[in-house]
Amino acid sequence: MNKNSWLIFAVAMALMAGSAALLVSAQARQKLGQPGVRVAASPINDEDGKPIGNQSVALPEQIAGYESSPVPITRLELDWLPKDTVFGRRSYVGQDGFGALLSIVLMGRDRTSIHKPEYCLPGSGWQIVRKEEVAVPIAKPRPYDLKINKWTVLGQSSQGRAEGGVYVFWYVSEDELTPHHEKFMWSIMKKSVTTGVLQRWAYVTYFTTCRPGQEQAAFRRLKELIAASVPEFQLAAGEAAGMISTLPWAAR
């Protein structure tokens, strides 16, 4: 490597080091925003029954027509996700036997707490058959349409039989709602640069299984559970969905 090459290399290293220092400095100055879901001073357990941290997302224990029970966080999640990630997870079973899992992942200062479901679902053995964006009417604290992703999936039961499923999800911060991963990422960057606030987004998911071909009926029941449970834990509502309409891809 000649003298000029060494000089270029040295300048590049200096620029990268300077950029890294600026990023670290900016992160240190950032104020962490408030979550868009309720957080309680109540730990959630891991698979061994041991408490995780001292907080959890406060999911409703009582929903009319349903029995609920807490579901532990897996060791794989705890090993892979940032240590300041806060979880909420419960299963709900209706009087007719319909069941669904409600799970929330709330980020702290590290946005890598939230991953695209395109990675997680196939890794769990589920094939994504169809993707749709739909709206679920929510009555409280004021009437609004909650836009969500509805994915039809196909997998296998523990007995090896084909099994259908419906997976729905969206993202929520203190004052914004969106079904789009790229929108919440853009919002984090924009708010961080313009206000110095690091938004604390949550990834909300509901999942239910059914016989193949029964996905629409399963989703109708899931919509009822979503409408009944969302007002109990989600703080952002209504106008929040419109606040993100000025983003570059809003016309899609």
Q: Could you count the other beta carbons within 10 Å of the beta carbon of residue 205?
A: 18
Mean pLDDT of 53-73: 95
Cα dihedral across residues 4, 7, 13, 17: positive or negative: negative
pLDDT range class, residue 24, cuts 50, 70, 90: very low
Structure tokens at 53: 């941290």
| 3-state SS, residue 111 | helix
Structure tokens at 149: 């992703």
| CA–CA dist 30, 25 (Å, integer) | 9
Q: Helix (H, G, I), strand (E, B), or coil: what is residue 164?
A: strand
- Count CB-CB contacts under 10 A for residue 89: 21
Mean pLDDT over 164-170 rounds to 97
Among candidate residues 162, 159, 160, 148, the one with its CA nearest the CA of residue 102: 148
pLDDT at 11: 39
Average pLDDT, the chain: 84
* Dihedrals phi, psi of 251, to nearest 5 degrees: -80, -5
Is pLDDT of 238 > 70?
Answer: no
Rounded alpha-carbon distances, angstroms, from residue 220 to 4, 104, 133: 67, 21, 15
Q: Domains of the chain: which residue ranges? A: 3-244
- The DSSP symbol for 54 reads S
Contact 237, 138 (CB under 8 A): yes
With residue 213 as reference, give the H or E element that holds it. none
Q: Comparing 124 with 95, which gets the higher pLDDT?
A: 95
Q: Is the pLDDT of residue 115 over 90?
A: no
How does residue 119 score in pLDDT terms, banded at 50, 70 and 90?
confident
Q: How far is CA 17 from CA 13, 24, 199, in A?
A: 6, 11, 26
What's the alpha-carbon Rg for the chain, to the nearest Å? 21
pTM for the full predicted model: 0.83
Strand partners, 169: 149, 205
